[in-house]
Structure 1
């Protein structure tokens, strides 16, 4: 073999060797990337999960006036002039509307004429009794009994007329009062919410005008009957009212009433039904008395959650008990080490908060460590990663354009002010918000829900 051929063969072998090495390196990297993306163990930084509890249920609520005034009209009177409009602010004594007094004046004049006639009749009876009494004195014994009966008869008529006069005087006094008070005024500081100008005869029992107090708010929450059974909500319970647009903005309050005697009504005879089944459930309102309503807006929708102390920042490291495994008196957590592998880390437990189901970690864990939610299928040496790494490694690509999000959803499906199907922030149709505690295969029975808007 010539020297030239040997050189060519050597070059070819070198090229093939380089290609094989590059292929192996690429395959290893791709396999590592694929393995990382396929890993189902995700670790979270301790500082991110401290004080975070997924077991607190949230309910929907709306800010409303703490007090309101319903003003009904007198069925015997006609409204002449309305002096305010919806949205107007009123003070105590502000004129709201006036009655037509022309008809009242006419009735008062007619009653006065009738009273005059009754007084004349009474005077006639007085004169008649005087005359009969005088005639009786000069009458024979046989005629005196007859005069006595006549006098008693006139006296009876006299008493009836006196009663009629008193009744007529009371009627006139009522007309006078109505005429003098033809202008109806507000008895509270507030805002005119509604005016029923076209009130019909069959609406005579409803309010003609409604005034709501301003600056003094309460929160009205909603809960379905199944959720209420397991919720533990009761009068006097402390709650946290949380803004829907800024969950760091909160107000403290107390449940003042749970109105289970007046279920909300719709077109299903007072019951709400799920279209996917034939089962129906009543929904009830409950009310929150606020310690302060500063920065609240009338009509604002909020979240309501029982106050178990979750708003108080504890000193030290506190984590949910679901991260901790206790075995024969020892406690450990699953930590992702520097090699992205799981290892057991023994920790020293401190105090336990039963309301929040959280433990204090006195030693063995730092805020910079990454831990994994404990489960029976974890093992030491198992690959783990953060969620950010999962995405960087290509994880989640299979979720894109797979038809999951092709269904068009209109505004009514996403947001229902009456507590219907779904609304923003994960509202369910059971009057509660899924705040994440329903994951890992848990069945959503409506016990874990929020407008809340």
Structure 2
């Protein structure tokens, strides 16, 4: 009996000691300081941007397609990798009809000229003929007959001249068609592709026989919403990134925004799909050539820029319509209501509520409250 009493007393003592330790550990945990990072109100340049997807393209390109109306493709003058200048011959067509027309015009011109020469001689001989008629018919009658013949010959002469002029015009038209049989480069650049198989393509979608591009200048193409098309202007700065090189950034600027929206497909035109406006971005960094045309890009277009006193947006606590920050002073935090202005993806303008000297918790947690002890990291 005595032994059981001793065991009971010992057990009670152990439980009391454990309870005291748990209480003390909870008390010390509740009084433990929270580590926080702080920031301060600074004047920063706040930039509002629009993010859109885009595609990298060459700024100057020329596609040459097979044109069956010109005739048979006779010769391709370039190979892939060739450097061409403006006016360099690229392909030449062969057209038997044009050769036949040239011969016909040449013969027609000679025929008209022979007729003109003959009529001029006949008109020149009329004076002699008139003198011979005067001895037979008299001056008056001879003059009347010769005038009738002269008038007819002059009319025939004018008709022959018109035929010659018409033939010359047709000859010039044929010559122009012949010159068009040789297709020349419109740009200075490199031959990127030669696709002879495109000549035999029978599908509705044509592929180019020759693709020429200038690798000295690049552009990025994307589309803007109706709202963004009103807020973006040529010349605004653009930051360009690519998932292929995530740590790389390139600079650019808005080159142009199309006045008309992008053409919609038949299915889009029957729905309430909003219009989109194509935009071109001039790439200012030459080293964007480290990626290739056709690569997908992310275009961050700057719409507004202003200098203002601001804090990192993560330092703001939102409660309903009001915004607060936590300020550290003498190891304690206090919550302060602030008024804000311009907001970007990283910073928010502070118009009142805190000063530049105060230390603001940069990323407040839910554990913070007025009067809590904290330690600045």
Number of residue-to-residue matches in the alignment: 343
TM superposition shift of 1:62 = 2.3
Confirm or deny that 1:79 pairs with 2:73.
yes
Contact 1:243 / 1:303 at 8 angstroms: preserved in 2? Answer: no
Distance in 2 between residues matched to 1:279 and 1:181, nearest whole Å: 45
1:46-65 matched pairs, under 5 angstroms: 46=39, 55-65=48-58
TM superposition shift of 1:282 = 0.7
Mark the CA change 1:67 to 1:20 in structure 2 (over 3 Å): closer, same or farther.
same
What RMSD over aligned residues (CA atoms) do the two structures have, in Å?
5.0
1:15-54 matched pairs, under 5 angstroms: 16-17=15-16, 46=39
Distance in 2 between residues matched to 1:323 and 1:64, nearest whole Å: 41
Distance in 2 between residues matched to 1:201 and 1:76, nearest whole Å: 19
Distance in 2 between residues matched to 1:241 and 1:323, nearest whole Å: 28
Please identify which structure carries the higher strand content: 2
1:221-236 matched pairs, under 5 angstroms: 221-229=222-230, 232-236=231-235
TM superposition shift of 1:283 = 0.6
Match of 1:66 among 59, 75, 87: 59
2:250 alignment partner, SS class: strand
Could you state the TM-score of these two structures normalised by the residue count of structure 2? 0.67
Mark the CA change 1:115 to 1:24 in structure 2 (over 3 Å): closer, same or farther.
same
Distance in 1 between residues matched to 2:181 and 2:55, nearest whole Å: 37
Unmatched 5+ residue regions in structure 2? 318-322
Match of 1:197 among 193, 199, 204: 199
Matching residue of 1:344:
335
Structure showing greater radius of gyration is: 2
Contact 2:70 / 2:93 at 8 angstroms: preserved in 1? Answer: no
| 1:211-260 Cα distance to aligned partner (Å, 9 max, x none) | 3322111222311113434xx11123333334445566433333232113
Please identify which structure carries the higher helix content: 2
Distance in 2 between residues matched to 1:201 and 1:114, nearest whole Å: 42
Contact 2:46 / 2:305 at 8 angstroms: preserved in 1? Answer: no
Matching residue of 1:263:
262
1:141-290 matched pairs, under 5 angstroms: 141-142=140-141, 144-172=143-171, 175=174, 183-192=182-191, 197=199, 210-229=211-230, 232-244=231-243, 249-268=248-267, 271=269, 279-290=272-283
TM superposition shift of 1:82 = 3.2
Distance in 2 between residues matched to 1:3 and 1:189, nearest whole Å: 111
Confirm or deny that 1:90 pairs with 2:83.
yes
Distance in 2 between residues matched to 1:338 and 1:254, nearest whole Å: 48
Mark the CA change 1:263 to 1:338 in structure 2 (over 3 Å): closer, same or farther.
farther
TM superposition shift of 1:303 = 1.6
Confirm or deny that 1:299 pairs with 2:294.
yes
| 1:254-281 Cα distance to aligned partner (Å, 9 max, x none) | 3232113242433336x5x8xxxx5321
- Higher-RCO chain (CA-CA 8 Å, sequence separation at least 6): 2
Mark the CA change 1:53 to 1:83 in structure 2 (over 3 Å): closer, same or farther.
same
Unmatched 5+ residue regions in structure 1? 33-41, 326-330, 386-453
Matching residue of 1:319:
311
Distance in 1 between residues matched to 2:76 and 2:120, nearest whole Å: 50
| 1:276-296 Cα distance to aligned partner (Å, 9 max, x none) | xx5321111122234333334
Contact 2:257 / 2:277 at 8 angstroms: preserved in 1? Answer: yes
Matching residue of 2:114:
120
| 1:105-151 Cα distance to aligned partner (Å, 9 max, x none) | 33322322222222232233234334444333425424533432332
